[in-house]
Structures are given as C-alpha cells and as structure tokens.
Amino acid sequence: MHINTTRKVLAGLAVATALSTTAIALPVQADTLRMAWSQDATGLDPHKQTAFSSLRLLELVYEPLVRLDAELNVVPAIASDWTFSEDAQTLTFTIDPNAKFSTGAQVTSGDVKASFERLLDEATSAAARSNFVSIASIDTPDDSTVVFNLSAADVPILVAMATINAAIMPASEIEAGSIGTTAIGSGPFTLDSWEPNSREVLSANPEWAGGELAIDGIDISVLPDETAILASLRAGQIDFALLNDPLIATLVPNEPNLELNRVGVLAYNVLQLNPSREPMDNLKVRQAMSCAIDRQGIIDAALAGEGKVTGPLTMPAFAQDPSDLFCYEQDLDMARQLMEESGVDGFTAKVIAATGEPPVAASEAQVLQSQLAEIGINLEIEMMELNVYVDTWLSGEFDMAVAQNGGRPDPYPMYNRYFTAEGNLAHVSNFGDETLDSLMKQGQTETDPATRVEIFQAFERHLAEQAPWLWLSTGYSYTAQRNTVSGFESSPTGTLFGLTKVSMD
C-alpha cells in the first residue's frame, strides 16, 4: 500500500535534489533511456515508502542485503553470501567487498547495523518493521561481517530482507538525519534530480558492484494519462514505459514498433473492510459480502479480463485453489441467508479508492457497488488523490477501502504486519484474531518446508472464513518498449530492477 508524505516535505525534497536550469535543458543522450510512468514517487525514504510508485524508483537507487530474482530466489545484493545457524536463530552476512555507496564510500557492517536499528526504531514508522522484531542484537565483528542474533527461530526473515523497505543506507546519513531529503544508495543508478509529479533524472552509478550498465541513465517523465504514454511510445518520444492500466497494456501488441512485457505478480486487489465498525464487526455480514461478490465478474468488467481470482496467498509455493476457500464463488442465496442471520437489514457504507493506483480502482469500486446492492448494501464511493488516500488508509479511518497491496514469496512477511498482535499495521486491518496470530508465529519458527505450507494454508482458510478483507484478484505487471530496447527482465514482484539489463539499439 502506501505511506504518508506531506506537500511540505515534497517541496523540500524537490529543492534538495533539483538540478540547475541549465542542466535540465541539456539534450538527452542517445544512450539515455527515455521512460514514462503515470504515478510518481511520494517520498525518498525507502524504510517508510509502500506506494508502488515510490518503490519502483527507490529500487533503482538503494539496495538491500539480498534481493529476489525473476524466479523469486534470494540472490546476493550488498551481501555476497549468508549463513543460517541450524536453529535458525543466527543469520550471518558477508558484505561484498565491491559494494560502495554512490559517494564512493565502502558499505560496511556499521552501515548495515545503523540501517536496521533505524528500521526497528518505532519513531521511524518503518513500513516493514514487524518483519524484523525478532532481531535481538546485531554484531559487527569486522567491517565485512554482520551477525543478526534472533530471539527465536525466524525462517522468513531472509525473504523479508529482500525488499527495498530493508534498504541499507550510509550510517553517516542516518546520523545526520538526512534520509528522505537525499538519496544516497549503493544501487545501479543515482538520483540526479526529482521534480515531484513531473520528472526524475537518473545516472548510471559508476560505483555499483553489479557491473557496468549498457545505458548512461534514465530520464523519467510523469504522464498521468496512460493514453498519452502509449501515444509517446508510438511517436518515439519515449523508449520505455511502466503501464498500470490493463486496458492500455492490451493495446500494445497491436502496435508495429512496440513490445509488451507482461508477467503475473504477487500483488493483490482487495476490498478491505473495517471490522472495528458496525456492521462489519458482525462476522455473518462480512461472510455475506464475500458470498455476494462475483470475483471473476470484477476481473472481466474492471480489469479487461486480465487477472485471476485469488485468496490471501498469492505466492505459488503456498497458494491453494481459491474455490476451496469459504464462499469464493458467488452464492447470492447463501449471502442473503447470512444477512438474514446477521440481523442486519441492509446498510450504507463509504468505500475509499485512490485515483491512479491502481488505475482500475474506480472501476472495481463500481462493480462492487453493483454486486453488493443485491444484498441490500449501499456503497458510497469516495475517490481520493493518492496522498490523501495514503493518509486515510494509514490511519485506519475508513469503512471500506479498495486497495492493491504488495505480495511476498513467503506469507509471514506478507501478512504479519496486518494480522498479528504486534503488527505495525494492525491498526489498518483493525482485526485481531488469536488463531491467525498463533498460526503466523508457528509459520515463522517452523523450519520444515512442508509443515510451513500446511500451517499457512490453514492460516489462509481461517482468514477467508473470517473475511476481514475480501481478496479479489491478482493481475499482471506491464512494461512497454520500443523495438530499439532489449534485455529488460520482468519480475513477479513488479520491480523495475530489470532495467539494469537493458541496452538500446
């Protein structure tokens, strides 16, 4: 989802990172990739950002200890190798000796320790803090070795570290309090300038340990209308684009000089209910809503058929057939019976949705409005600008929310922040459940892979039956490029890190 950023901060960041007028006026070089997207980043602090638009930018500038490849395997990033102890309570990393920040400074164990201490500090309001609370202490026996001592076995912590929300930053920048106003990372690109909602300019980072890039940089334009993005691709004004709207993406294969990259993602579309508010605090009301929804109908009407019905678990290693979950196939008779048993004779509620992220949010809300009207539920749709939606969502102050949330290859880092008692976003889910909490903790400490699958599939079945949220679908990540661009590698995480492999004809 998203994280709070104010217009004041955005203005300050623009000043802090802006290029001179003369620099901006320089012509784009032939080996600079001209790119466009429709949603801009909302901030530069990788520990705080959860909006997809922010993550896509920051993944090019910062690096975590490890990352996920296109097959969702954990592979080296800042760390060259790592070792778990047999009891899964100690995790030791060796830092790549070639890892350097864009300033040229070596990445050390002290930077890793300072980054995780910042992430764990509640005052930071880090988006993924709950994934790392098992860290009891961090040892740095030398500049290239980091040892995480865990309070209990924590198998999924390695996958949790493979995200930009666990980015490593210079300890000096953390101490100076400049995180979020500068962007000094060890990633493949440096951020030369950022004009919010207008433009970003990135240069290839000569210090990047991953090797020399085939492009000198990326010039990103923010074009809110994806129809305009497609027109710019056709006209050769841009070379590459991130597309969010399936209606636009499906037009690309018909264009003679354009190519579409399409990959199924772990992110999911969901109707989040607020079970702390009446009548959503009534289990039978929530279950009736789940039964009333035609999930495939929403995909067909709002996503141009581009998606699959999903339960809570979207990762291939753990997911089970959604038809085996409680009422994941529309059953209006059951829905009406549950409403009658609930004692609630219809009600009106407000559902919030963000403009542009995802672009199908308004359409999803309208289809949901029509479907739930069949059982006497009147949805009032309130569309919000992204930053307003972010604030409202984070506060948990809504009846319902149409959302698109990120997925993970492991269920624990995907859901513990929402559905455990200690979760740092439990106030967003507004739903406490001892069974979910217990299953989450069992899955965290269990080391046998087959047993972990059983635990989390039980978690999924219980979550679907309790219906605090109504999972709808997974979709696709789309990028489009002119046929002069080659090498981009798509990923189920939606990352644009595959731009490091791009070359231009």
Three-state secondary structure along 153-180?
A: CCCCHHHHHCCHHHCCCCHHHHHHCCEC
Residue 488 has pLDDT above 50, yes or no: yes
Q: Where are the domains of the chain?
A: 44-176, 265-475
Instruction: Name which of 12-21, 74-83, 175-184, 353-362 the model is least confident about.
Output: 12-21
Tell which residue, 27, 172, 201, has the closest CA to residue 111: 172
- pLDDT at 71 (0 to 100): 92
Statement: the pTM of the whole predicted model exceeds 0.95: no
- Which of 127, 422, 464 lies closest to 270, judged by CA? 464
| Residue 307 backbone dihedrals phi, psi, to 5 degrees | 170, 175
pLDDT in tens, 424-438: 899 999 999 999 999
Q: Is 500 helix (H, G, I), strand (E, B) or coil?
A: helix
Q: How far is CA 350 from CA 179, 233, 276, 314, 445, in A?
A: 36, 38, 14, 27, 39
Extract the tokens encoding 224: 């809110």
Query: 308 by DSSP, 3-state: which?
Result: strand
More confident residue, 142 or 39: 142
Kind of pairing, strands 240-243 and 32-37? parallel
> For residues 286 and 272, what is the distance between their CA atoms, to the nearest angstrom?
11
Q: What is the pLDDT of residue 6?
A: 35
Residue that is written with structure tokens 């993970």 in the block: 408
**Per-residue pLDDT reduced to its tens digit, 298-336:** 999 999 999 999 999 999 999 999 999 999 999 999 999
Please give the C-alpha separations between residue 285 and each of 28, 209, 288, 297, 468, in angstroms, as whole numbers: 57, 54, 5, 21, 10
**Quick one: average pLDDT of 201-226?**
95
Q: How many Å apart are CA 7 and CA 265, to the nearest integer?
A: 31
What would the two tokens of residue 7 be? 């217009």
Range of weakest confidence among 4-8, 182-186, 294-298, 391-395: 4-8
Q: How many CB atoms lie within 10 A of CB 300?
A: 14
CA end-to-end span of the chain? 36
Over 179-192, what HEC string results?
Answer: ECCECCCCCCEEEE
- Classified by CATH at the fold level, domain 44-176 comes out as Dipeptide-binding Protein; domain 1 (3.90.76)
Q: In the chain, pLDDT over 90 holds for what percent of residues?
A: 86
The span from the CA of 443 to the CA of 50, in Å, is 24
CA dist., res. 348 & res. 188, Å (int): 50
Q: 14-18, 159-163, 450-454: which range is least confident on average?
A: 14-18
Question: Apex CA 305: angle with CA 300 and CA 308, to 5°?
Answer: 100
Q: How far apart are CA 439 and CA 313, in angstroms?
A: 14
Encode pLDDT of 5-36 as tens digits.
333 333 343 334 333 333 333 334 448 999 99
Helix-strand-coil percent breakdown of the chain, rounded to 5? 35, 25, 40
- What are the tens digits of pLDDT across the range 330-368? 999 999 999 999 999 999 999 999 987 788 899 999 999
Q: Say how far apart CA 352 and CA 501 lie, in whole Å.
A: 38
Asked whether 38 and 468 are in contact (CB, 8 A), the reply is no
Element (H, E) at 337: helix 332-342
DSSP per-residue string spanning 108-157: -HHHHHHHHHHHH-GGG--TTGGGGTTEEEEEEEETTEEEEEESS--TTH
CA distance 376 to 336: 9
Q: CATH topology for 265-475?
A: Dipeptide-binding Protein; domain 3 (3.10.105)
The torsion region of residue 435 among left (phi > 0), alpha (psi -120 to 50) and beta comes to alpha
Q: What is the rounded average pLDDT of the residues 221-249?
A: 95
The predicted pLDDT at position 24 comes to: 35
The b/e string for 168-185 (b: 16+ C-beta within 10 A; e otherwise) is bbbbebbeeeebbbbbbb
Residue 130: is it exposed, middle or buried by C-beta count within 10 angstroms (0-12/13-18/19+)? buried
When mean pLDDT is compared across 24-38, 360-374, 394-408, 473-487, the lowest value belongs to 24-38
